[in-house]
Amino acid sequence: MREVTDPNVLAVVRLAIAEAAQAPEVARTLDEIGLGTARAALRKIMTHAHESQLLDARPAELVEQFNGLLWGDLIITRHLEQPDCTCKSGLKYPSTA
């Protein structure tokens, strides 16, 4: 989690978002190298669990749900440069600055 919320990483993601319309290859590369690699690893785990009959759902859907649960509001809060984030459950994410 530390790497994902690192100010330099967030700056690159913000740049890719801001330039996505003019330079879609930047966003595509970031997605493939960063997010895509993590999703592929998680999909492999979920596929194994599904094949072992530990989970009864499509691995791709499980990956999306897991990522949503894992990150919650943290990423949006970091991109908005909020100093601290306390989610609805009361879990506090400290500032990375």
Ramachandran quadrant class, 41 (left: phi over 0; alpha: psi -120 to 50; beta: rest)? alpha
What is the reported pLDDT for 48?
Answer: 96
What is the reported pLDDT for 1?
Answer: 59
Radius of gyration in angstroms for the set of CA atoms belonging to the chain, rounded to a whole number:
16
What is the reported pLDDT for 49?
Answer: 94
**Parts of the chain with a pLDDT under 70:** 1-4, 72-97
What is the reported pLDDT for 34?
Answer: 79
Determine how many CB atoms are found less than 10 A away from the CB of residue 28. 13
